[in-house]
Amino acid sequence: MRHPIFLSVCLAGAFTLSACAKTGDRTVERAFQDVNVIEESNLSDVMLTVADPNEAVAYFTRTTKQHPDRIDYQRGLAVSLVRAKRNTEATAAWARVVKMDGATPDDSVDYADALIRAGDWETAESVLDAVPPTHETFNRYRLEAMVADANKDWTRADSFYEIAMGLTTRPAGVLNNWGFSKLTRGDFAEAERLFGEAIRQDETLFTAKNNLILARGAQRNYAMPVIPVTQTERAQLLHTLGLSAVKQGDVETGKGLLRDAIETHPQHFEEAVRSLRALEAA
């Protein structure tokens, strides 16, 4: 009489173990899926930050083919194309992103950025105009200022640069852009001030240093400013200053500055040597 009872218990136990096994399999499967999602996310982050831009493009090109409806992958491809300086392809990629479900105003701003890099200022302006006015970000106003500059709408440009300044803790780049805007307008003193501010914010920003020299040269001020520079940078800035002097008609001063540049450079400064030879031959 005990055997049927024992068999029933065994069968019940077997079914229980089978159910547990299936539940366990599903749990393990979900766990692996979660791990895969984490790994994909981490890999995407790596590709967007430290990976070679063209490698990132190749990675996101593959993943977008596998998951064409994933906006994060499409966005990753667009960002990678910008990093790789493949601007025409980047604008097409961003155009796809902004039409997808889940697209944000930031995507439209990044689309406008890509359009500006590709030289399509008119479309960039229309894209920015469509961004809600409540979307107030540094990148949006930085681009608005650049578009206003391109339109020579100086009042709007100054207003947008000022707003952008208040929306970032790292204003060196926007100060340099604002200074260059002033330089193109012929407001050399104000440009010099803004470039100086940019350098105080970021002592490594060589573009601002070179622009500062251009602003001083335009005022026929050929003294080197007191700014932090390496020996190589000093030689390069002396070269820029020398060429500025020549442009102003102060040829002998320019020659002297070019000689200083050649002597200052820790290595052979071929570009300055060629400039000096050309002047002396003339």
Q: How much is the average pLDDT of 261-266?
A: 96
pLDDT for the residue 50: 61
Q: Which amino acid is at 184?
A: T
pLDDT for the residue 18: 47
Task: Report the alpha-carbon distance of residue 124 to residue 109 in Å, rounded.
Answer: 9
Task: Report the alpha-carbon distance of residue 278 to residue 282 in Å, rounded.
Answer: 6
DSSP track, 135-157: ---HHHHHHHHHHHHHTT-HHHH
**In this model, does residue 37 exceed pLDDT 70?**
no
Average pLDDT over the chain reads 88
pLDDT for the residue 21: 45
For residue 2, how many other CB atoms are within 10 A of its CB? 6
CA distances from 259 to 227, 264, 267 (A): 21, 9, 14
The residues, ordered by sequence, that sit 6+ positions from 261 with a Cβ below 8 Å of its Cβ are 235, 236, 238, 239, 242, 269, 272
Which of left, alpha, beta for 222 (phi over 0: left; psi -120 to 50: alpha)? Answer: alpha
Higher pLDDT, residue 181 or 51: 181
